[in-house]
Structure 1
Amino acid sequence: MLRGESTNNSDSDQDSERVVIKNELSTLSFEDLQKLKEKIGAKVYTEVVFGKKQAMSYKPKVFKRDNKNRPREMSSKKPVPILGDVIPVKKQEIRDPRFDPLCGTFDKKEFAENYSFLSKARLNDIRLIKKELKQTTDPELEQNLRRLLQRLNDKEKSNKRKKLEREKKEKQKAEVEAEFSQGKQPYFKNKSEVRVESLVKQYEELKKQGTGRIQRHLKRRQQKVKKRSFKT
Structure 2
Amino acid sequence: MLGLLSWGDTGYGDELFFGAGVTIKVAVLGYMIALSLGTAIALVTLNPRGWRWRCWRVYASLFMGVPALLVAFLLYYGGSEIITSLFGALGMRVNIDVTPTAAGVTALGLVYSAYLAELIRSTIRSLPQGQFEASAMLLIPRRKMWTQIVFPQTIRLALPGLTNMWIVVLKDTALISLVGIKEVIAQAKMAAGNTKEPFLFYCAVSLFFLAFSLVTVWMIGRLDRRKGYGKVAVKSVPAPALLHRES
| TM-score (norm: length of structure 1) | 0.28
More contact order relative to length (CA 8 Å, sep ≥ 6): 2
Which entry has the higher C-alpha Rg, 1 or 2?
1
